[in-house]
Structure formats: structure tokens, C-alpha cells
Structure 1
Amino acid sequence: MSPLRIGSLELKSPVVLAPMAGITNVAFRTLCRELEIERAGSTSGLYVCEMVTARALVERQPATMHMTTFGPDETPRSLQLYTVDPDTTYAAAKMIVDENLADHIDMNFGCPVPKVTRKGGGAALPYKRTLFGRIVAAAVKATAGTDIPVTVKFRVGIDEDHHTHLDAGRIAAAEGAAAVALHARTASQRYSGTADWGEIARLKEHVTDVPVLGNGDIFAAEDAARMMADTGCDGVVVGRGCLGRPWLFAELSAALNGREQPTPPTLGEVASIIRRHAELLAAHHGEDKGLRELRKHVSWYLRGFPAGSELRVAMALVSNLTELDDLLTKLDPTIPFPKDAEGPRGRQGSPGKVALPDGWLDDPDDPVVPAGADLMHSGG
């Protein structure tokens, strides 16, 4: 498999960790990188931090600044922006450049959450072609003359009647984006149903001058290889598939580079990974908040393992490292990784009508910035 080049960045493996709110903080990214080094010999992909709001970054909101934390050895440092306004976009990207906050900027136009689309943000925004182009152009202008590439992620469209991905890919490439990524669902699907990889193939045929990355329903290394073979895409973006499986990137790297995949971890090895994740979260957030953050990961880590309901409940309520250490000793370390742990994980939800601002669909070339769409907290 050839390396993936995104502007100045050359990735040994064409695999990108998708930003996920409350998940892809510095603790989780560090864990993924450590496990890739341990199980595959080196880090080779791109690990993107959880999304931050451009306006909140410019205003230096403390929570947002904390989210931009990177590990001391983390490279390349990848930061994703949620943005709706070309001026704020330029200011945020210029701040990233001037203060050396990151080595790569990704922009999120794929969020399907109603509180976001209702105000014209996220997956709703690419429908406004002129505004979308001006936002991408603003980020590219702010990073001109640097080695910081700008990439753009979006969905197939708002719903089956309003596809936007082909225009979005064309516009982003024309405005200077170094790569585009497509989550092969519409906003109305949210995370339900099946991703339509055929739309990734269509985008790849339509956009030929920058790399096209595919996202959606990659839950195993074989899925990534199949997506690239079936669609011709240049790389893959993996989100929910790595929940409770931060070692997945080692498997993906091996599969896409023709190496033998590492053996999945036993329950004892998973317990050690949980402990390391807790330690990293405690270092980032403090022990109290860090252990509360760990709780949501427990069910993903233990999926398919015969751990017992009482122990699962106790681990989902863990409050400190000492308590966690005691609970982890109750897991049978010899149990191999179960086949029941494979397949979809994380939120899926139900499809539904996309909430949009009044008159949003009237004029796709209206460049007016949607009112109040950037008054949201970082992380989604």
C-alpha cells in the first residue's frame, strides 16, 4: 500500500482516526498510538483530536483550549474545527498557525445533530455552496505559506433529495483543500442503516486532484481493505469501530500494508489497556473527572466478554484508580478475544427529518452566515 500524502504530510498508512466528541482527547489518541507502536512497530496514520469550535478557539474559552492538548511526542498534531463563518474561520486558522497549535487542520461539515443543523451548521452547511467555498478558502488563506494542510469532511447530503457531496468535493478542492473525506450517509440517516460506499466511489470519480477518504461502517481491518478496493478511495477514516478497541489501528495498518495482523488481545490484555486508558484520562482531566470519563468506555471494552452483570455495573460506576485496580483483578485474564465483540458499536440512533433554519433550502448560493450557528460548545 502506497503512503497517503495530504499536503505536506506523508502517512505510512492511509488510516485516519475520526474526531469523536468526548472520545478522541489526548488520552485516547495517546493510547491508540502506543498500541500501534506496541503491536505494529510504529505509528503510521493520523489521529485527529475531538472537534473544537472556531469561535470558542478564537475567544480562548478554557474548555476549548484544554481540548487542544497534544501529547509531547504526538506528530502530526491534527485539529478539527467546527465553523460557519469565513471571518471566524480565518481568525482561528491564523491563530493555529501563529501559535503553532497544530500541524493539520480538518473542518467538520458532517455533524447531523439537530441542535447543529437547525442553525445551519454541520451537515446542513454544504448546501450553501458559496458560503461553504468561502469558509474553505478562508482556512486555506490563513495557512498559506506554511506546511499546515487543510482538509474537509462532509456527508452525502442533507437527505436523499438533497445530495451535496459532489459539489462539496469539487468546491473544497478548487479552494485549496489538500484532501476531502466523505461519511457515506446523509444527515437524515444520522448513524443508522448502512453507509453507501457507492457514493464514495462517485466522489472519487468526481474529485481527481486531491485524495478522497472514505468513512462509514469500518469495524474491522477487512472492512477498510474492502472499502478501498471497492471504491478506489485513497484512505479510510475510522470512528465508532475503534470504541473499546484502540488497538484497531495496529490491525488496520497491518492489513493495508500487507503484514500479518496482530493477535487480538485476551481479557487480561484488555484489562491492562483499560488501566492505561484510566491513567491517561486521570493525567488529562484529574483523577475524579478522568475516571468518570472512563465509565462510558467500559461497556465497549467488555463487549462480548463473559464479565458478568455485577462486575460490569461496578466498573461503570468506578470513581478512582484504586477501585478500578480492584475490579480489574476480578476479570479472568486467560479469556481470548470473543467473536461476539465484532461488528457495529457506539451510537446508531434512528433516521429522521433534518432540522433546518426556515427557508434554508430556498437558495443554495446565498452566502449569508447563519445566525447563532457558532454559539455551540466545542466537542459537539
Structure 2
Amino acid sequence: MSSLPTVTRTPGLTIGPIELDVPIVLAPMAGVTNTAYRRLCREYGTGLFVSEMITSRALVERTPESMRLITHHPSETIRSIQLYGVDPKTMGEAVTMLVAENRADHIDMNFGCPVPKVTRRGGGAALPWKSDLFRGIVEAAVTAAGDIPVTVKMRKGIDDDHLTYLEAARAAEGAGVASIALHARTAADFYSGHADWSAISALKETITSIPVLGNGDIWSADDALRMVDETGCDGVVVGRGCLGRPWLFADLTAAFRARAGEITEAESLASRVQPPLGDVARALRRHAELLTEFYDGEERACRDIRKHVAWYFKGYPVGHELRTALAMVTSLAEMDDLLATLDGSLPYPGVDAEGPRGRAGRPKRPALPNKWLESRSLDTPGLAELAGAELEHSGG
């Protein structure tokens, strides 16, 4: 472990009226950051835990799944919801609904999705290229939100030749957002290679009136501290690094508390979690239990937990047959029987259990609507095509 830097700032983060003890945000991830996983992460550490991305259109239409996703557990004292939209009017209606029905304390907006089926219709990370449309969506959300803080998460741009983040950030700052988070990759990068933290530095130099948060390649607490040191950002946004590792928030919390002088470096290092296999199994089991409560039944919970198995056991000597069996469980009792066969005393495997999780993909030419890059404004036919981009996809 690297030594902690000299204290130069407090560890907290202020986003409008929201004051966090530590500058840590859980990034929304489709099919992952539901109420169950947010509760699990909060059992280990603290921060701002944002919901899965919900499309503004689905929310206005009150689809059953969107209504489930905006429902928070009573223990979630800051109800944070991420929205994605391509139309200012619909976005305004969605935020108005959340405010009128007292369903949120914080609203985040996603302009970072790199998924081809979204960008090929002009949505996600492609949308800020149409600067007037981007500004209109953000302004509609901020106006409808009133006193509730609205934040924005984005990527650098479409590709290295079509960067949008500085212009979009200035527009968002002018519209009155409470903070801006940057995933330091382009849509073309997808999740490949290394995040360009220098872009976070450039954003921090450009935006001075509100907090700037950095996202990309935070796999450990040391990575988070290094990002803050190298870029000057006000906080970090953690996504894929916590897949199958809810205890990462314990490490992050301890690291930032030590940075602030609230605990000693020795206490911080002692708080870092390096779980033996038995503790990993208990975390997986707890996750499944919380999913059962979230879905009000074991069947769907067991289907949901299957994709997490490989993430939890990354680096641990768990055989293929057992992993496969765990990825096919149909009940908590069946999971209990399988987990009971593990040697819980096996120690943390070190670096083999760390690093990236999930598919990184490869750099690719972004899929875009025809002639999308020829103009920074959106014509009427383009607006009709854009409506199809509002799909249930997350990421950024």
C-alpha cells in the first residue's frame, strides 16, 4: 500500500444542499445498482449511491419496472435517481413527477452511454454533440427540480476528433447543475484501455464554481486517492471496480477519512478489506437475500444473482463446476448448500482478485445517425430518430 498524502483538504463533498462525509459516488450500472446492491454497499462504507439509470419516457409512462427502480429502501437517507432522456419536454415532465411526489433528493443525468444501439440514434455519449439539445435537456431538468440538486455525468465525447466535454460542462454549469462527473473515455473507447485522467484535470481547470468528479479506472482505494492527487477533482465516481466487491466502499471510506486526519494511516490500512473466501461467500449470500426482498421472491433474485458469481469469486480457487452450479441456482437453500462446500478459510488471493471487472470491449468506431457530425444542431427529422434512443441502457 502506498502512504497516504498529507492532509490538504477535508474529505467531504457538497452537492447543492447534500453534504457527504466522504467524496465517493457509486455509479449507476444497468442490472446492478438496484436497491439491493446499494444497501449491500452501504453496509460496508458510505457515500452517495445512485440508482440504476431510468429513461425519462419510461418514468412518465410509469412502466412497472421504472416505478420499481425509483423506489428506495427506508434506510437510504439520500434518494438519488439517475435519469436518461433525449427530449427536454419529457425530461422536464419526469423530473416534475419526481419532485411533486417527493421521490428523490438528488437527480443525476446520464450523457455517457456508449452502447451502439443508443448512440446510433444520437443518444447517450453522442447527444452532447448537439449542443442546443443538450443544453435544453439540462435546463429543463434543473428548472423542474427546483431546490433538488441536479448533476450531470458525461464522457469526453464521441471520439478524439469530436470532443464535447468542456463545452457541455460549461453549458451544464450555466444551467445550474450542482456538480459534473466525467468518465475520462470517449464513446469510441467504450471501456477499453486506460481512462485519460488528464481530461479530468482539464475539466477541473475549466469548471470552478461547482464540484468536478472523476470516473474511470478506480479499482482500489489507492487509485481513488491518486486520481484526486493527479487531477485535483473534488470526488470520485466508482463503477465497474465494485462489481462483486461491495467491500471496496469500506476501503474508500477508510482512505478518505485518513486523508482528512479523522483516523490514522495505520487505522486506515487496518480497515482495508481483504476477505477470505468465507467472507466473499457471505457477501454473495447477503446480496441474494437483499435481492429476494427487492424482487419479493427468490426466483427472480436467483436469476439476478447469477451474473454476479464470477465477479465475486474473481481470483479465488473456486472450480468451474461450482461456479457454474452457483450461476444456475433457483433458491437460497440451493445456494446455501453449494456455498457450504467452499473452504472458507482460503485467504485473499491478492492482485488476482483485483483490477477490472466486466467486459472492457475494444475501441470501435461509434455508431451514429446519418450525417450526425455535420452539424452541432438538430433538425426535425433528427429529433424523430433520436426518440428511439431512449432505451433501457445504462453505462458511461
The reply to whether TM is greater than 0.5 is: yes
Tell me the distance in 2 between the aligned counterparts of 1:179 and 1:203. Answer: 12
Equivalent residue in structure 2 for 1:315, among 326, 334, 348: 326
Letter in 2 for 1:75: T
Tell me the distance in 1 between the aligned counterparts of 2:359 and 2:385. Answer: 27
Do structure 1's residue 15 and structure 2's residue 17 form an aligned pair? Answer: no
Equivalent residue in structure 2 for 1:268, among 275, 278, 288: 278
Give 1:379 deviation, angstroms.
4.2
Letter in 2 for 1:370: L
Tell me the distance in 1 between the aligned counterparts of 2:384 and 2:294. Answer: 34
Give 1:323 deviation, angstroms.
0.3
Contact map agreement 2:83 2:107 (CA 8 A) in 1: yes
- What secondary structure, in the 3-state scheme, does the structure 2 residue paired with 1:81 have? strand
Give the match for residue 371 of structure 1: 384
Contact map agreement 1:52 1:378 (CA 8 A) in 2: yes
- What secondary structure, in the 3-state scheme, does the structure 2 residue paired with 1:219 have? coil
1:312-343 Cα offsets, whole Å, 9 max, x none, are 11111111101000011011111121111011
The correspondence of residues 57-96 of structure 1 with structure 2, limited to 5 A, is 57-96=59-98
- What secondary structure, in the 3-state scheme, does the structure 2 residue paired with 1:187 have? coil
Give the match for residue 98 of structure 1: 100
Moved more, 334-343 or 172-181: 334-343
Give the match for residue 225 of structure 2: 225
TM-score (norm: length of structure 2): 0.91
- What secondary structure, in the 3-state scheme, does the structure 2 residue paired with 1:108 have? strand
Contact map agreement 2:11 2:256 (CA 8 A) in 1: no
Tell me the distance in 1 between the aligned counterparts of 2:215 and 2:379. Answer: 28
Tell me the distance in 2 between the aligned counterparts of 1:335 and 1:102. Answer: 42
The runs of 5 or more residues in structure 1 that have no matched partner are 37-42
Give the match for residue 29 of structure 1: 38
Letter in 2 for 1:277: H
Tell me the distance in 2 between the aligned counterparts of 1:373 and 1:111. Answer: 14
Letter in 2 for 1:346: G
Give 1:359 deviation, angstroms.
1.6
Contact map agreement 1:49 1:79 (CA 8 A) in 2: yes
1:239-275 Cα offsets, whole Å, 9 max, x none, are 0000010111111011112141423221111111111
Tell me the distance in 2 between the aligned counterparts of 1:222 and 1:64. Answer: 36
Give the match for residue 317 of structure 2: 306
Aligned CA-pair RMSD: 1.2
Matched residue count:
371
Tell me the distance in 2 between the aligned counterparts of 1:318 and 1:371. Answer: 43
Give the match for residue 135 of structure 1: 137
- What secondary structure, in the 3-state scheme, does the structure 1 residue paired with 2:95 have? helix
Tell me the distance in 2 between the aligned counterparts of 1:350 and 1:267. Answer: 32
Give 1:367 deviation, angstroms.
6.8
Query: Cα distance 1:367–1:15, how it changes in 2: closer, same or farther (>3 A)?
Result: farther
Give the match for residue 120 of structure 2: 118
The runs of 5 or more residues in structure 2 that have no matched partner are 1-9
Give 1:123 deviation, angstroms.
0.1
- What secondary structure, in the 3-state scheme, does the structure 2 residue paired with 1:373 have? helix
4+ runs deviating over 6 angstroms: none
Contact map agreement 1:153 1:180 (CA 8 A) in 2: yes
Contact map agreement 1:119 1:370 (CA 8 A) in 2: no
Do structure 1's residue 192 and structure 2's residue 192 form an aligned pair? Answer: yes
- What secondary structure, in the 3-state scheme, does the structure 2 residue paired with 1:319 have? coil
Q: Percent of aligned pairs with the same residue?
A: 58
Tell me the distance in 2 between the aligned counterparts of 1:85 and 1:70. Answer: 26
- What secondary structure, in the 3-state scheme, does the structure 1 residue paired with 2:184 have? strand
The correspondence of residues 271-282 of structure 1 with structure 2, limited to 5 A, is 271-282=281-292
Tell me the distance in 2 between the aligned counterparts of 1:327 and 1:374. Answer: 46
Contact map agreement 1:50 1:379 (CA 8 A) in 2: no
